[in-house]
Amino acid sequence: MKNLFHHITFSIVLLLVFSCNNDFLKDELDYVSPEYASIIISPDWDSQDYTIYCPNVGNAKYTVIKVPEWLKISSPSGQFTDGFATLNCKAIINDNFSEVGLYYAYMTLAVEGKGNRTIIIAYIIEGNPVINAKLTYDSSYNGRISVKNTGYGILFFYILKNPEWLLLTDQYNATIENYSVIVLRPNGEENIYFYYNSTTFISEKLFGKIVIESNDKNKPILELEVQMDLGNL
């Protein structure tokens, strides 16, 4: 679980996964102007580092000048390097946020020589996500992993490990990199496609495991057996 949450730094695009369900998204503010970067954080998580990105700031010092009252930051100032900076943060319990969902707020940074930058923050109530996954193959032993969230909560998952002879891609045929975290709301489903990676031929009969890490409290690690018989291709 520590590895999973360490890599939960999202772009605003991932936050919008939930925008189709107004009851599931809870705005703390009437209006938030999204710029450049965002953080998802839970009061159930320990204090940790979050990487933020602000294009066009380069190498510049910053000072945090405004944060939501429920967010604690270890240091109010720091340094951007090529547009990237690290903030050590911890959320504290806010009794106004009780239902499962994402509650938006923002912090403002004063960047030396660049003006202010707004960073979207989302306070999350995870609820009780439940992960289910299965493999299916076609006649060429290519296939897909169907991952579903059958609980009432927000599910985060990523591929912790897969055989080197498999190439994993998303629905748009983009390669899934290590620590690419996928977010699913209740009843959500994601298909991950896999193909034989011809650059890593080992033998005709291949066996291995695809290992998925998630925030399912009862099943944080899920292992799926995968095999290919290249002699039949």
Average pLDDT on 127-135 reads: 94
Please give the residue that has the higher pLDDT: either 222 or 40. 222
pLDDT at 232: 58
What pLDDT band is residue 150 in, cutting at 50, 70 and 90? Answer: very high
Q: How far is CA 105 from CA 38, 77, 91, 158, in A?
A: 10, 19, 12, 26
Measured CA to CA, the distance from residue 5 to residue 9 in angstroms comes to 9
Most confident range (mean pLDDT) of 4-18, 47-61, 130-144, 200-214 is: 47-61
Task: Decide the pairing of beta strands 115-125 and 38-41.
Answer: parallel
pLDDT at 54: 84
Task: Decide the pairing of beta strands 131-137 and 38-41.
Answer: unpaired
Which among 1, 4, 11, 125 is positioned nearest to 70, based on CA atoms? 125
Average pLDDT on 112-120 reads: 89
What radius of gyration do the chain's Cα atoms show? 20
pLDDT at 221: 95
pLDDT at 141: 65
Is 6 a residue whose pLDDT tops 70? no
Cβ–Cβ under 8 Å, residues 93 and 182: no
- Minimum mean pLDDT among 29-43, 53-67, 132-146, 148-162: which range? 29-43
Measured CA to CA, the distance from residue 150 to residue 152 in angstroms comes to 7
pLDDT at 158: 87
Q: Which segments within the chain are labelled E, that is strand? A: 25-27, 38-41, 48-53, 61-66, 71-73, 77-79, 84-91, 101-111, 115-125, 127-128, 131-137, 143-149, 152-153, 155-161, 166-169, 182-184, 189-196, 205-214, 221-229
Any residues with CB less than 8 A from the CB of 4 and at least 6 apart, and which?
156, 157, 158, 181, 213, 214, 215, 220
Measured CA to CA, the distance from residue 98 to residue 76 in angstroms comes to 28
pLDDT at 55: 81
Please give the residue that has the higher pLDDT: either 115 or 141. 115
Is 183 a residue whose pLDDT tops 50? yes
Output the average pLDDT for the chain.
79
What pLDDT band is residue 82 in, cutting at 50, 70 and 90? Answer: very high
Distance between alpha carbon 224 and the CA centroid of its chain, in Å? 21
Cβ–Cβ under 8 Å, residues 71 and 41: yes
Average pLDDT on 202-208 reads: 75
Phi and psi angles of residue 49, each rounded to the nearest 5 degrees, phi first: -85, 140
> What percentage of the chain reaches a pLDDT higher than 70?
76
Letter string b/e over residues 76-107, b meaning 16 or more CB atoms within 10 A of that residue's CB: eebebeebebebebbbeebeebeebbbbbbbb
What pLDDT band is residue 33 in, cutting at 50, 70 and 90? Answer: very low
Domains, the chain, with CATH or none:
2-125 (2.60.40.10), 128-232 (2.60.40.10)
Measured CA to CA, the distance from residue 183 to residue 149 in angstroms comes to 10
